[in-house]
Every structure is written in C-alpha cells, then in structure tokens.
C-alpha cells in the first residue's frame, strides 16, 4: 500500500515521535514549531491523519485545508477545541486519549488538597522569596478525619477516593450515573442527595463539562456549605461559578480553594489570583513526564492504526458514508441518539438496562439504532469518553444490560422506535418516529401520547389534570422572560397530564423550583437537545 502521511501539529513526547518515525508505512511530518498559518495552509493538505493538542484549533479554517484527512487524534482527553460536528460531516474520525493522564490528574488533585490544608505555596514563598522564618503564620489543618465529598466518581474521582482513604479521611461520593456499589465496594459512602456533599469539609469535582455540570457549584450551593470549606477543581473550568467562588473566598465562607482550571485560559489576570487563600496552577492536570509519554505513545499508535484503516480507538464520532446508508435511516439514527439523551436527562440515575425496540423497515438496522441510543444515554454521564465504537463496551463495563428487539409493525406508523430505560429510580419509556422523510417527532412518553419535536430547551411538567394548570405554568414561564415556542399536552386515564413546553432560552433552576410548588405539580424537569 502507499505510504500515509501523519502530521504532528503540536508538541508531543519524543517517544511518540519515534513510533511514528520507525513505521516504514508512515511519513511523519513534525510541524509543532511551524507558524499556524503555514502549518494549516502548506503542510496540512498533505496529511491523511493529524495529531493535535490544545494549541491547534480544529475549526473551519483547519478543515478547509485538511482535504485529505480521514482522522484526527486529539492527544489528551478534552476536545473543546475540535469542531466534531464539522469533522463528522466531512467523514473525519475524531479520536482522543481518555485515560493516559488519569494518574497525573489524580495526584494533582491530592497536591492541591494538601496545599490548601497546609498553605504550602504561601509558606514556601514566605521563606524562599521573602526570606522570612515565621512558623506561627502557617498553622494548617489535617486531612485526617476530615469529610471529603467527591462529585463524579469515574476513573479520576474513584482514584482520588482511594488515596484519600489512605489519609484516613471520611469519603462520600455523589454520581447519579454510577451503580452505588462502585463506591461502596471501595468502603466509600455513596449518596444521591447533593446536600450531603455540600456538608463536607472538603469538596472536589471530577465530572465532564456538560450543560448539567457547568456552574454546578454556585451561590446557592456555597451558601449551604459549612463555614471554612475547602474546594478543589482539577477537572474543567466553569464547573464552579467563578464569580461565586471569588465572593465565597473573599468573605471567608470558603477557607481555601485549589484551582487548576479556569473558564477562560490562559487566566493570567483572573481575579482569583489576587486572593491569598487560593492555590493555583496553569492547567497542569496532564503535566507529568509519565502522562505526557503515555499520551504521546497512545496518540502515535492510534494515529497509525487510523492511517492504515485498521481501527479507530476511542473514536468520538461516526463518519457516515453516504453511499452505504439508506436515505430514510439518517434522521432515525439522529432521532435515536436524541431520544437516548433525552431519556438520560429526564432520569438522572444509574442505568440498569436499555431496551431498544424497532418496528417497520428500520428493524433491519436495529444494531445501529441501539448504538446511537446507547451513545445518547451514556453521553450524559461520561461525555467525551463515549463513542460509537465503544458504546456497548462502556455499557457492559457499567453493568448495563443492552436489549435489542424487533417486532412486526402494528403501530399505525410506517416506522416506530421505542426505548425502555430502567434505572435505579424506575422505568421510563419513550417512542418516536419520522414523518415525511425528515420530520422527527416524539410520539409517546410513558403512558402519554404526544407530538413533540425533540429540539431546543424543554420543560417536562407532570400534573394532576385539573383546570387552570396551563395558565399557571405559562404565567411562571413568562416571569422568567422566556418565550414559549411550543406547548404539547398528553393525558392518561388516571386523571394526570404531561406537558412538554419548548422555550426560547435557558431554563433556570429557580424556574423549575417555582413550577414544582404548584398544587397540581407531580414532577417537573428539563432537558436540552
């Protein structure tokens, strides 16, 4: 076969470069030191596969010149700088290296925790830079016996828990998307009540950055915390509301904070840097020699596999080949993923099983439909760690049963897709179809018959079927300056109703709380597709 060209756009460890250089079927171009304009316009057009890091944006400009690209490897976990949708449309596979820096991130978290407890950076600077010997200024606190709350109990959060137990801390985990036994088997307490985390002495967060987790700790959450709490964030910038964090530190409500990540980076003029009760690092989560070597080696190996079209490890998207997919299936696959994601958003709980039932001509594609549903369900909890290649493996690893079912079509629709999601909180069902080739619709939720376009911000309001409810709901939504773009209502035979309200704008927690106080309200939640 002809040699394939792999362009390295950003600096990676030399051992990764050696792997690329030593493969006789690969031409490696190391363009890490080239100006970005030259890299994109002159070198990138030669590339079959590119390896990037955070210094190179995979955007419209990049893709305009990467005309030969079949795959891009993001050497690291985050893909915030990659336009995945645009790559998918061009048939370019996006891969990342999600586990290579796990230990580095875990140990940095412990570093910040210890630094906050003992004011280590300030004591160090006082002696080394100021040349002042004042032991009495640096009384700290011990980790021993303190209660640690861990938000997000995946690869990193669970390892932080294990290490914290070695310090004889009292550890409690919050993660509605895991089986509680993942924590309890490690002799770590599990809670599904977020207030239990807010009551801890030290809180650390290890979640992906999603619509659900952005600003997860804000003014209201900080107000519930005990005075003198310590907060740690070595995950993603923006998980803590930075203005609220600043005010909490300034007032002393928060005693210390250890921060490695910021909402906008580089953060050289951030207000947090002016406070003397914050330990900060410039996004060093992956910055160990070992993790950089692991990232480079895995990235190089994955790039070679992709260039040779052998495999696409940790692929984050699926390049749809137009000539291999029937036209009528494209909107159904998109609808399947939306329905799966909607199910997860409305049922924030550990998933036990996912059952996918297809009726009609779509039954021939039950495998693909199930993959898209599974990606939709799990993307809410594991974000960029889920992809179309590993979806069912990730589900199996989480002890989630996947059930595929095809049935004769007696539904009255040409095709019908149904998902039955079983979680620790109960069973949720949702059905959908596609009209007129491209019009996607949700047609059933549990026992309610509806006609809802799965699009935008949606409020799901379940209530007793009594007069005046629609007016009350509309009035409260109007108070929050939101325009209602669609209002769909389903009723059952138990004198209950489900309203699905699409709105233009962000649905705030305060709005949902106010709706929940209506006498007729049974439950209220929101989702964004």
Average pLDDT (439-456) is 93
Q: Is 307 exposed, middle or buried (0-12, 13-18, 19+ CB in 10 A)?
A: buried
pLDDT of residue 319 exceeding 60: no
Tokens read off for 256: 């210390």
Backbone dihedral angles phi then psi of residue 101, each to the nearest 5 degrees: -110, 20
What is the structure's pLDDT at 321?
46
Q: List the 93-96 sheet strands across, edge first.
A: 26-30, 4-8, 49-52, 71-74, 93-96
Say if CB 419 and CB 340 are below 8 A apart.
yes
How many Å apart are CA 105 and CA 160, to the nearest integer? 9
Tokens read off for 168: 């004889």
The catalytic residue among 13, 206, 283, 462 is 283
| pLDDT tens-digit readout, 152-174 | 998 899 999 999 999 999 999 99
382 band by pLDDT with thresholds 50, 70 and 90: confident
pTM: 0.72
Q: DSSP for 419-463?
A: EEEEETTEEEEEEEEEETTTEEEEEEETTEEEEE---SEEEEEEE
What is the structure's pLDDT at 324?
54
How many Å apart are CA 498 and CA 451, to the nearest integer? 12
Average pLDDT (254-272) is 96
374 band by pLDDT with thresholds 50, 70 and 90: very high
What is the structure's pLDDT at 323?
42
54 band by pLDDT with thresholds 50, 70 and 90: confident
Number of Cβ atoms within 10 Å of the Cβ of 263: 16
The three-point CA angle 206-211-216 to 5° equals: 50
User: Please, where are the H alpha helices in 48-119?
Assistant: 60-65, 84-89, 102-118
The catalytic residue among 74, 236, 270, 462 is 236
Which domains are present in the chain? 4-100+290-307 (3.40.50.720), 102-280 (3.40.50.720), 322-528 (3.30.1330.90)
355 band by pLDDT with thresholds 50, 70 and 90: very high
Distance of CA 233 to the CA centre of its chain: 15
The catalytic residue among 14, 142, 265, 290 is 265
Average pLDDT (116-123) is 93
pLDDT of residue 47 exceeding 80: yes
When mean pLDDT is compared across 227-236, 258-267, 403-412, the lowest value belongs to 403-412
77 band by pLDDT with thresholds 50, 70 and 90: confident
Catalytic-residue membership of 265: yes
What is the structure's pLDDT at 420?
97
Percentage, residues of the chain above pLDDT 90: 77
Catalytic-residue membership of 236: yes
Catalytic-residue membership of 118: no
Say if CB 285 and CB 105 are below 8 A apart.
yes
Number of Cβ atoms within 10 Å of the Cβ of 251: 10
pLDDT of residue 389 exceeding 70: no
């Amino acid at each position: 076969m002809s040699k394939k060209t792999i362009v390295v756009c950003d600096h990676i460890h030399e051992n990764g470069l050696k792997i690329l250089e030593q493969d006789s079927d690969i031409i490696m171009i190391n363009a890490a030191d080239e100006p970005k304009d030259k890299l994109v316009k002159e070198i990138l057009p030669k590339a079959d596969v590119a390896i990037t890091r955070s210094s190179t944006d995979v955007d419209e400009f990049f893709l305009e010149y990467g005309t030969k690209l079949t795959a891009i490897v993001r050497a690291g976990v985050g893909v915030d700088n990659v336009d995945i949708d645009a790559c998918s449309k061009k048939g370019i596979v996006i891969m990342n290296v999600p586990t290579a820096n796990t230990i580095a991130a875990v140990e940095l978290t412990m570093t910040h925790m210890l630094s906050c407890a003992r004011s280590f950076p300030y004591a160090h600077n006082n002696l080394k830079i100021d040349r002042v010997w004042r032991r009495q200024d640096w009384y700290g606190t011990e980790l021993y016996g303190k209660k640690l709350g861990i938000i997000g109990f995946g690869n990193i959060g669970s390892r932080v828990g294990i290490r914290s137990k070695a310090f004889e801390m009292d550890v409690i985990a919050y993660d509605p998307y895991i089986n509680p036994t993942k924590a309890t088997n490690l002799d770590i307490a599990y809670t599904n009540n977020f207030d239990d985390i807010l009551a801890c002495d030290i809180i650390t967060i290890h979640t992906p950055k999603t619509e659900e987790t952005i600003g997860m700790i804000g003014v209201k959450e900080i107000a519930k915390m005990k005075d003198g709490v310590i907060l740690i964030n070595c995950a993603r910038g923006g998980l803590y509301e930075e203005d609220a964090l600043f005010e909490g530190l300034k007032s002393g409500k928060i005693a210390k904070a250890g921060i490695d990540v910021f909402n906008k980076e580089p953060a050289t003029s951030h207000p947090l840097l002016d406070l003397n009760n914050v330990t900060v690092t410039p996004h060093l989560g992956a910055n160990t020699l070992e993790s950089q070597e692991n990232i480079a080696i895995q990235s190089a190996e994955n790039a070679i596999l992709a260039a040779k079209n052998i495999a696409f490890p940790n692929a984050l998207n699926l390049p749809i080949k137009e000539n291999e997919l029937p036209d009528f299936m494209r909107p159904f696959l998109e609808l399947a993923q939306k329905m799966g994601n909607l199910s997860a958003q409305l049922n924030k709980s550990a998933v036990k099983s996912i059952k996918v039932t297809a009726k009609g001509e779509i039954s021939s594609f039950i495998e693909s439909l199930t993959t898209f549903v599974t990606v939709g369900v799990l993307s809410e909890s594991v974000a960029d760690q889920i992809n179309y290649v590993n979806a069912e493996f990730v589900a199996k690893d989480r002890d989630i049963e996947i059930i595929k079912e095809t049935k004769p079509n007696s539904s009255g629709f040409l095709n019908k897709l149904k998902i039955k999601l079983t979680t620790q909180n109960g069973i949720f069902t949702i059905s959908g179809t596609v009209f007129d080739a491209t019009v996607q619709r949700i047609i059933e939720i549990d026992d309610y018959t509806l006609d809802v376009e799965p699009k935008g911000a949606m409020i799901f309001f379940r209530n007793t079927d009594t007069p005046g409810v629609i007016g009350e709901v509309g009035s409260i939504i109007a108070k929050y300056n939101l325009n209602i773009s669609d209002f769909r209502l389903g009723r059952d035979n138990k004198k209950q109703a489900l309203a699905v309200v699409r709105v233009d704008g962000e649905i705030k927690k305060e709005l949902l709380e106010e709706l929940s106080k209506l006498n007729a309200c049974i439950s209220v939640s929101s989702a964004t597709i």
